[in-house]
């Protein structure tokens, strides 16, 4: 069934049902109005029949009176001529008009003063009775004219009165027959109207009951099932399904609900498996197995910016299996991947082949096109430790991802991006931990033979005399041994657990002492301090931090360029130490990762100095920030909490914990 029919069938049925009820209501109302008009018309006919009988009785009564009191002289005769004869003519005329109206079945003249909404109409039986009355009246009137005589000036009123008195029973019988027939017809119409009204009422009740039953079974029942299904899904039961037994909007709603429930179940499965993913392969396998029912994707890959600032393809899955695409590495400049990472927004490429042909720098799109993929979505991923990259979801068909798929993937983008970033970070952390353990073991193994070498070199220094070349080489070897010992010490310091012996310290005093003890023979250092509250700190560790930062500043600054150190309070509960040098700016790609182990821009540097510094500062509950540009040089800002600041932070943490517990 087409969607248009699905979307209009229930509407049409409801409209038809409402139309049928409205039609019945209109028909009942119109018929009731018709019955009211008919009753008024019938009432007018009955009243007219009453006037007919009244006039007939009046004619008879006047004749009887005249007969009983017939005039005996001419003055009395002329008086009756003016009174009785005029009344006789008037009554006769009115009787003729009423009888003619009944015979002609037109009452507009005789009912002019009693107009009705509809003109009265006689039934056949009443009309037949009216014709009989008309025939009797014509005979009666003809004989009456003969009795009156031809002279209108001297009518024979006594003869006329005798004729009326003698012949009125027949006329009354015909009139009564018309009246009774008319009353029977009116009663019959009233009974029929009552019957029709009852039938209309029963029909309306039956139709209303049928519509109510249909509405309950076809609308309310399925809606109740859908509501119950939504309630179950809201409670977490994504296996809930609503049966589809009709093809209309309700069926479309049930089908949408079932698809929604399927998607919610798939999303829950996806979330669960993403949370359980411990490595990149497992996470990509989860995505390749759970996403296709939701999004038509058949290729998933992850590209990450490495330490060399190149984009590397970490891993890819094609049709649910690892894709042996091989190593892929390229510079991110002028690529869509760089645009996606910098904007932190998903990027849709509906036609990969056409887009790849626009620029030679689109290396990955060209590779994706060679793999037969035509539609792709780039999803930025990020994680702790500065991890940056892109997750790629591709399909073999161009323009295969609809707006619905894009919206769903955009909603899942943060989750998928964070999950992939966390997975990559876990892998990186695991790799670094393994390297750290390996380096720690190697350091322990190297220290013993290195100590032996150091003793041997010290012994050679005491041997006299040594040739100049040999003495120079011994001195050089001694320096290298010292450097190796320092490197091993840094590796062990970074790898082993950090224990602090914290006591209240005056950071201003500690900065001045460190500068005097460690930098007497180097370029000048400008110190600006302000009275600061005490900080709970391990004196030796903080001194180690200051020495490292000052040495780095001296090495990075130009010859004889002063170094600026500021020590001051930094808001409530903090003390800040700021070290500034005017040397060259640190490259941006290095600046982002200066606190990562083994990252350095100095020739011969180990890349462990700043990671150790950050570790010590974090252990004290402090923060360290580094800014660098060509205009102002490099600025390191170290902040440590005071005793009051630590107490306030502890109280706030206790309050937050209590609030969470009460919630």
486-537: pLDDT as tens digits: 666 666 666 666 678 889 999 888 888 888 876 555 567 888 888 888 999 9
284 close to 299: Cβ distance less than 8 angstroms: no
Domain with CATH 1.20.120 in the chain: 12-202
The mean pLDDT value for 592-615 works out to 73
Question: Most confidently modeled of 142-151, 445-454, 480-489?
Answer: 142-151
Instruction: Name the average pLDDT for the chain.
Output: 77
Q: Report the pLDDT value the prediction gives residue 663, as an integer from 0 to 100.
A: 43
Range of lowest pLDDT (84-98, 193-207, 252-266, 632-646) = 252-266
- CA 498/CA 150 separation, integer angstroms: 153
User: Is 50 exceeded by the pLDDT of residue 657?
Assistant: no
424 close to 302: Cβ distance less than 8 angstroms: yes
Which is more confidently placed, 251 or 628? Answer: 628
Q: Report the pLDDT value the prediction gives residue 8, as an integer from 0 to 100.
A: 52
Q: Report which DSSP code applies to 399.
A: T
In the numeric block, the tokens 């005589």 are attached to 149
Give the model confidence (pLDDT) of 252-300 as tens digits. 777 777 766 666 666 666 666 655 555 677 777 877 777 787 788 888 8
Give the model confidence (pLDDT) of 13-54 as tens digits. 788 888 888 888 888 888 888 888 888 888 888 888 888 888
Which residues partner with 527 through β-bridges? 565
184 close to 125: Cβ distance less than 8 angstroms: yes
- CA 549/CA 555 separation, integer angstroms: 10
Torsions phi, psi for 411 (to 5 deg): -70, -35
Which is more confidently placed, 365 or 472? Answer: 365
Q: Report the pLDDT value the prediction gives residue 660, as an integer from 0 to 100.
A: 46
User: Is 70 exceeded by the pLDDT of residue 7?
Assistant: no
Model confidence band, residue 98 (pLDDT cutoffs 50, 70, 90):
confident
Q: Report the pLDDT value the prediction gives residue 152, as an integer from 0 to 100.
A: 73
Which is more confidently placed, 206 or 68? Answer: 206
Give the model confidence (pLDDT) of 397-451 as tens digits. 888 888 877 777 776 666 666 666 666 655 555 555 555 566 666 666 676 676 7
Domain with CATH 3.30.565.10 in the chain: 503-662
User: Is 50 exceeded by the pLDDT of residue 387?
Assistant: yes
Q: Report the pLDDT value the prediction gives residue 2, as an integer from 0 to 100.
A: 40
Range of lowest pLDDT (343-357, 404-418, 623-637) = 404-418
Contacts by 396-405, CB closer than 8 A, 24 or more apart: 396/298, 396/372, 397/296, 398/350, 398/351, 398/352, 398/353, 398/374, 399/350, 399/351, 399/375, 400/296, 400/374, 400/375, 401/295, 401/296, 401/348, 401/350, 401/375, 401/377, 405/294, 405/295, 405/296
Which CATH code, of 3.30.565.10, 3.40.50.20, 3.40.30.10, 3.30.450.40, is assigned to 503-662?
Answer: 3.30.565.10
Q: Report the pLDDT value the prediction gives residue 620, as an integer from 0 to 100.
A: 86
> What are the tokens at 228?
């119950």
Q: Report the pLDDT value the prediction gives residue 575, as an integer from 0 to 100.
A: 92
Omega before 445 within 30 of 0, i.e. cis: no
Burial label for 274, CB within 10 Å (0-12, 13-18, 19+), is: buried
What CATH number labels 12-202? 1.20.120
Contacts of 442 (CB under 8 A, 6+ apart): none
Which is more confidently placed, 288 or 622? Answer: 622
- CA 280/CA 302 separation, integer angstroms: 9
590 close to 599: Cβ distance less than 8 angstroms: yes
The mean pLDDT value for 322-345 works out to 79
Give the model confidence (pLDDT) of 189-240 as tens digits. 888 888 988 888 888 888 888 888 888 877 777 777 777 777 776 776 666 6
Q: Report the pLDDT value the prediction gives residue 577, as an integer from 0 to 100.
A: 92
Which is more confidently placed, 519 or 361? Answer: 361
Mind spelling out the 3-state secondary structure of 452-515? HHHHHHHHHHHCCCCCHHHHHHHHHHHHHHHHHHHHHHHHHHHHCCCCCCCEEECHHHHHHHHH
Q: Report the pLDDT value the prediction gives residue 3, as an integer from 0 to 100.
A: 40
The mean pLDDT value for 169-191 works out to 87
Q: Report the pLDDT value the prediction gives residue 518, as an integer from 0 to 100.
A: 65
CA 662 to chain centre: 32
Torsions phi, psi for 605 (to 5 deg): -75, 150
Range of lowest pLDDT (122-136, 269-283, 330-344, 580-594) = 269-283
Q: Report the pLDDT value the prediction gives residue 576, as an integer from 0 to 100.
A: 92
pTM of the model: 0.43
Domain with CATH 3.30.450.40 in the chain: 275-422
Q: Report the pLDDT value the prediction gives residue 1, as an integer from 0 to 100.
A: 39
Domain at 275-422, CATH homologous superfamily: GAF domain (3.30.450.40)
Which is more confidently placed, 265 or 184? Answer: 184
Which is more confidently placed, 114 or 600? Answer: 600
């Amino acid at each position: 069934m087409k969607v248009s029919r699905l979307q209009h069938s229930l509407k049409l049925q409801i409209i038809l049902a409402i139309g049928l009820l409205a039609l019945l209501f209109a028909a009942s109302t119109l018929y009731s109005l018709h019955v009211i008009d008919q009753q008024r018309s019938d009432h007018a006919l009955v009243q007219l029949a009453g006037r007919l009988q009244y006039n007939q009785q009046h004619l008879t009564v006047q004749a009887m009176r005249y007969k009983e009191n017939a005039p005996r002289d001419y003055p009395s005769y002329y008086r009756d001529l003016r009174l009785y004869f005029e009344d006789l003519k008037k009554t006769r005329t009115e009787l003729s008009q009423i009888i003619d109206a009944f015979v002609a079945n037109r009452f507009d003249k005789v009912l002019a003063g009693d107009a009705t909404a509809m003109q009265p109409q006689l039934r056949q039986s009443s009309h037949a009775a009216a014709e009989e009355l008309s025939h009797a009246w014509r005979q009666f009137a003809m004989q009456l004219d003969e009795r009156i005589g031809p002279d209108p000036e001297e009518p024979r009123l006594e003869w006329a009165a005798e004729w009326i008195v003698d012949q009125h029973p027949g006329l009354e019988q015909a009139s009564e027959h018309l009246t009774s027939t008319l009353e029977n017809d009116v009663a019959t119409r009233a009974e029929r109207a009552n019957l029709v009204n009852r039938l209309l009422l029963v029909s309306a009740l039956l139709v209303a009951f049928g519509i109510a039953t249909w509405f309950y079974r076809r609308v309310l029942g399925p809606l109740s099932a859908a509501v119950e299904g939504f309630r179950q899904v809201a409670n977490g039961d994504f296996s809930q399904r609503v049966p589809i037994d009709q093809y209309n909007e309700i069926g479309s709603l049930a089908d949408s609900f079932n698809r929604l429930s399927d998607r919610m179940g798939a999303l829950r499965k996806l979330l669960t498996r993403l949370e359980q993913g411990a490595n990149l392969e497992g996470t990509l396998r989860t995505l390749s197995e759970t996403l296709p029912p939701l999004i038509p994707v058949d290729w998933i890959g992850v590209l990450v910016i490495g330490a060399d600032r190149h984009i590397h393809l970490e891993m890819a899955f094609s049709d649910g299996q690892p894709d042996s695409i091989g190593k892929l590495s390229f510079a991110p400049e002028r690529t869509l991947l760089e645009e996606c990472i910098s904007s932190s927004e998903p990027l849709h490429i509906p036609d990969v082949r056409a887009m790849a042909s626009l620029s030679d720098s689109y290396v990955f799109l060209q590779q994706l096109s060679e793999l037969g993929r035509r539609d792709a979505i780039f999803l930025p991923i990020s994680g702790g430790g500065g991890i940056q990259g892109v997750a790629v979801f591709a399909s073999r068909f161009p323009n295969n991802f609809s707006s619905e798929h894009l919206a769903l993937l955009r909603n899942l983008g943060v989750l998928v991006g964070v999950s992939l970033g966390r997975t990559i970070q876990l892998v990186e952390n695991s790799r670094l931990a393994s390297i750290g353990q390996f380096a720690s073991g190697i350091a322990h193994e190297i220290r013993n033979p290195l100590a032996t070498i150091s003793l041997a070199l010290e012994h050679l220094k005491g041997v006299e005399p040594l040739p100049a070349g040999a003495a120079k080489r011994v001195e050089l070897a001694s320096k290298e041994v010292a450097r190796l010992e320092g490197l091993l010490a840094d590796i062990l310091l970074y790898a082993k657990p950090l224990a602090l012996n914290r006591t209240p310290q005056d950071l201003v005093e500690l900065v001045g002492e460190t500068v005097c003890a460690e930098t007497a023979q180097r370029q000048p250092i400008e110190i600006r301090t302000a009275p600061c509250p005490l900080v709970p700190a391990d004196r030796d560790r903080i001194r180690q931090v200051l020495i490292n930062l000052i040495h780095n500043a001296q090495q990075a600054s130009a010859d004889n360029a002063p170094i600026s150190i500021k020590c001051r309070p930094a808001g409530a509960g903090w003390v800040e130490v700021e070290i500034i040098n005017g040397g060259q700016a640190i490259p941006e790609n290095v600046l982002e990762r200066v606190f990562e182990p083994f990252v350095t821009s100095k020739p011969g540097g180990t890349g462990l100095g700043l990671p150790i510094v950050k570790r010590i500062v974090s252990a004290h509950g402090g923060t360290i920030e580094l800014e660098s540009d060509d205009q102002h040089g490099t600025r390191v800002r170290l902040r440590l909490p005071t005793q009051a600041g630590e107490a306030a932070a502890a109280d706030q943490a206790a309050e937050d914990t209590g609030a969470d517990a009460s919630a």
